[in-house]
Structure 1
Amino acid sequence: MRIPQSPRLRDRLDDATGPLLMAGAANALTARVVEEQGFEAVYVSGAGISNTYLAAPDIGLLTLTELSSHVAAMAEAVSIPVVVDADTGFGNAINVRRTVMQLERAGASAIQLEDQVSPKRCGHFNGKDVIEADEMVGKIAAAVEARSHDDLLIIARTDAAAVHGLDEALKRVTLYREAGADVLFVEAPRSQEEMQRITTEVPGIHLANMVEGGKTPILGRGELGRLGFSIVLYANSAMRASVVAMRTVLQHLRDAGDTNGVQSLMLSWADRQALVGKDEYDALERRYAVNREGL
């Protein structure tokens, strides 16, 4: 039961303390763990929600209503900025206006939009395509105009490198920056040399997406900072780790008939209740309890 008090994400990106390391979450509980572990922002992963909520791949199946409900729950659960993956914006520029307004009301501190053809695909899948650059420029202009406050950042992602090459991707993010995007995101560069070109050839705030097993080399936060990236994203590391732990515990339970050998891998009862704020709810119950003796 928290009231969100997100600091301005723009202020954090303007300081000189090194790249913002951002972890992704697919639900409010994971978002709270991200905050608990000291991260300065949490990323609402569209792929993570698709995987966990729908048990489906990241191929554009999630709706705006489903995404908004997850964003609202996460924003209420944490006090750090919530950065939202809004895929293609759920339609054309007019749809993007509604998407931005709805997600901002839900508690987003930043909204990421990408230039893929809808339905989109994960940035590290094959078979992607992108819309025309001028259509995406219109979407970004609509997003900038739709936000109610400049504190809401617009992150412009291009997937053009996989389709048309890095030169086209760099041309696009330059146009997107001119259209008003606050943060630039070239998805799936294939080498450190390509990553260096992104930050050298296009001025602005750049995001690096680290996907274990994906097309981009995994580099350390310090090295990415030296390359010129201001944000380092690990969108689904926590979700993927949780599945490994679930499988280990469930396999043991299936084979042994109990959890006695794997409880060290499980959240303790007390820690679980603390994480979800059980004491706070107990206090509220006492505060609002009816004193029937005086009736």
Structure 2
Amino acid sequence: MLYSTRTASEKRRLLRERLASGELLQFPGAFTPLSTALIQQKGFDGVYVSGAVVSAELGLPDIGLTTLSEVAGRAQQIARMTDLPALVDADTGFGEPMNVARTVQTLEDAGVAGLHIEDQVNPKRCGHLDGKAVVDADTAVKRIRAAADARRDPDLLIMARTDIRALDGLAAAVDRAKQLVDAGADAIFPEAMADLAEFEAICSAVDVPVLANMTEFGKSELFTTQQLADAGVRIVIYPVTLLRLAMGAVERGLDELRASGTQAATVPDMLTRKRLYELIDYSGYTAFDSAVFDFEVPGAH
């Protein structure tokens, strides 16, 4: 009922332990607190809060238009809803190194288990689009040092994302990953890898966990968990998958409603009232303290 049964510090510690085990962890992208509850019920390892999804939900493109307060607000709503660790996309840290430090502490207060800071110029753009630009190595290193120095909980996972592969090739990505680990990064997110061999090269070059971004319609093939695990990857995110599935269904439903004048044909595709009530734990609320306030759950079907 209500929110997570685990504290933020517990979730951070458990994420560290899972990463140390060497297994591959799957983090679907949650686009609402309700979708977060479903991710946990389906047995996934964590939830991801995508900057692209936060932007899209606001009706904006992923070009650095969102603010720290908007991202932190949604991250808090998602992180507190689940016992799973939440990893959040912190873009470029919303400014220069001092801004990065404030971003880390704000997101730490939001209850996330980890966050990633990227080396794109500010404002950034979606990592799987052309026309990106990255900062020089010194600036990228300062961002990660500021992030690592700013955290108050040593278990908060500071991940460094690099987009340099699309501009200067794999060798540059390997070099940048090493520099970011030396600066204090606990994990590496190499964006837009071309194939499994490139993931293997990054994993072999650093002694920290590596993340794979399995976003649809991007630069990377949609590899299986087994393929990624064999390449050495330890975290895989599916950042926009659930939002795309949901919005595809919404569009088809609206088309049907407009065309036929009724939603009757789409009812079999809907989440039932009973299932919705299970997800939001209606029964838990009725049982919480009936001496204070009692009500009956409406008929479910």
User: If the TM-score is normalised by the length of the shorter chain, which range does it land in?
Assistant: over 0.9
Runs of 4+ in 1 over 4 A off after TM superposition: none
Q: CA deviation at 1:144?
A: 1.0
Structure 2 distance, partners of 1:25, 1:286, is 32
* Deviation of 1:213 (Å): 1.4
CA contact (8 A) 1:4 1:80 kept: no
Task: Name 2:43's counterpart in structure 1.
Answer: 38
**Partner amino acid, structure 2, of 1:11:** E
The partner residue of 1:155 within 155, 159, 181 is 159
Match of 1:171 among 150, 168, 175: 175
Aligned to 1:11: 17
Corresponding position: 1:205 with 2:206:
no
Shift of residue 285, structure 1, vs aligned partner = 6.7
Paired AA for residue 270 in structure 1: K
* 1:258 to 2:259 alignment: no
Secondary structure of 1:203 counterpart: coil
- How far residue 2 of structure 1 moved from its aligned partner, in angstroms, is 2.0
- Deviation of 1:208 (Å): 0.8
Partner of 1:70: 74
Taking the aligned partners of 2:98 and 2:59, their CA distance within structure 1 comes to: 30
Unaligned ranges ≥5, structure 2: 295-301
Aligned residues: 288
Paired with 1:72 and 1:203, the residues of 2 have a C-alpha distance of 30
Q: Structure 1 stretches of 5 or more lacking a match?
A: 291-295
AA of the residue aligned to 1:3: S
Deviation string, structure 1 residues 193-245 (Cα, Å, up to 9, x no partner): 32222222333211111121110122110111111111111111111011111
List aligned pairs for 1:68-147, cutoff 5 A. Answer: 68-147=72-151
Q: Which moved more, 1:201-210 or 1:79-88?
A: 201-210
Query: Is the 8 Å Cα contact of residues 158 and 172 (structure 1) preserved in structure 2?
Result: yes
3-state SS of paired residue (2:87): strand
Given candidates 49, 54, 66, the residue that maps to 1:49 is 54
Offset at 1:274?
2.0
2: CA distance, partners of 1:13 / 1:28: 24
- String of CA shifts for 1:126-180, please: whole Å, max 9, x gaps: 1110111111111111111111112110010000111222211111110110111
Partner of 1:281: 285
- Aligned residue for 1:232, secondary structure, equals strand
Match in the other structure for 1:293: none
Contact residue 19 and residue 232 of structure 1 kept, 8 A: yes
CA contact (8 A) 1:117 1:131 kept: yes
Query: Are the equivalent residues in 1 in contact too, given 2:92–2:120 (CA < 8 A)?
Result: yes
Aligned residue identity for 2:35: T
Q: When the two structures are superposed, what TM-score results if normalisation uses the length of structure 1?
A: 0.93
Distance 2:232 2:253 in 1: 41
CA RMSD of aligned residues (A): 1.6
Aligned partners of 1:200 and 1:162: how far apart in 2? 20
Distance 1:287 1:135 in 2: 59
Counterpart CA distance in 2 for 1:199 and 1:289 is 55
How far apart, in 2, do the equivalents of 1:21 and 1:266 lie?
A: 26
